[in-house]
Structure 1
Amino acid sequence: MASELKLQISVDVLELSELSTAECQAMELARQAANDAYAPYSNFLVGAALLLEDGSLFKGSNQENAAYPSGLCAERTALFALSANHPNKKISLLAVTARRRHEHEYLAAMPCGACRQVMAEYEYKQQEQIPVLLQGPEGKFYRFKTVSDLLPFQFTKENL
């Protein structure tokens, strides 16, 4: 007899005025990073910002390529660059936003599956939860307490 496993994920849906100062700074840097994205094919500009435990910020933007699989999402650009330059710094928050090139309004930004897996790896690496702040629809923001809420069944080294 099959059994059922129910998952419950909690996400805070917030207005801009409800974000902390640090969350606002991270989201603003993510927006700046989106403006710097190299997306000549999709015109979909994505920015990510990492708030580090020491209060500093680090950014990444999506980088496209005519050979589509060679591009890289903003979340992975930020995480890989941080790890390459500051391998021991811990992440306190990851913020992501997106917009279309010729529009000023920011759109709901949901990380792809590959980015969720990489985000989970960094959470596993630092052995601490990484809260995730995503631009939501209609000017709202989604705050997840942990990457695990975005990817509940993760592939980890225990699966190897």
Structure 2
Amino acid sequence: MKEIKIDVNFKVYASIDELDVVFRDLMTEAVEIRKKAYAPYSKFRVGAAILLENGQVVTGSNQENAAYPSGLCAERTAIFYAGANFPDQKILAIAISACSDLKITNGPIPPCGSCRQSLFEYEVKQENPIKLFCMGGVGEVIESSSVGNILPFHFDKAVL
């Protein structure tokens, strides 16, 4: 028997205002697209903004469906669009903002497991880390230097 220890470090900012201007603008785009989410059932809105190496920003919001689980999360909406329309562009960063129509979400909200796996797939594909920024509706923002940090014991193409 052996034991594995995985250490992960994150940066925590008190608010969006503490981010570098490029990432503050990216998070602002995530907040804006979050407002366009189609979330009539969960009342939980998520926006994602992706910064590509050419400077282009791709956004996505969650899209629900009465026939659960036919909807799609904001992160996958955005990253699949980026992959389909900009297949040769590296993804530098993704900003995610989530909030509830029913209560205040004042802490960082990370991606779900399916989104973590999908985001990580692109990180592996491009052989370059993707910075990740997460926040709730207001309050702190967490920065991870890599999607792999939030999926430390991951599944990827190396095992196939």
CA distance in 1, matches of 2:137, 2:27: 15
Compared with structure 1, are the counterparts of its residues 61 and 107 closer, same or farther at alpha carbon in structure 2 (3 Å cutoff)?
farther
Residue pair 1:98, 1:106 contacting (<8 A) in 2 also:
no
Deviation at 1:146, TM superposition (A): 0.3
Distance across 2 between alignment mates of 1:28 and 1:18: 13
Letter in 1 for 2:13: L
The Cα RMSD (Å) is 1.7
Instruction: Tell me the CA shift for residue 86 of structure 1.
Output: 1.4
- How do 1:14-33 residues align onto structure 2 when only pairs under 5 Å count? 14-15=13-14, 16-33=16-33
1:128 matched residue in structure 2 = 128
Matched residue, 2:10: 11
- Paired residues, what number? 159
Structure 2: unaligned runs, 5 residues or longer: none
CA separation of 1:137/1:39 partners in 2, compared to 1, >3 Å: closer, same or farther? Answer: closer
The runs of 5 or more residues in structure 1 that have no matched partner are none
- C-alpha separation in 2, matches of 1:86 and 1:42: 31
Structure 1 residue ranges, 4+ long, deviating more than 3 angstroms after superposition: 102-107
Question: How high is the sequence identity, in percent, across the aligned residues?
Answer: 44
Is residue 98–residue 136 contact of structure 2 (8 Å, CA) maintained in 1? no
In the alignment, the residues of structure 1 paired with residue 148 and residue 102 of structure 2 have an alpha-carbon distance, to the nearest angstrom, of 34
How far did residue 153 of structure 1 move?
1.5
Question: TM-score by structure 1 length?
Answer: 0.92
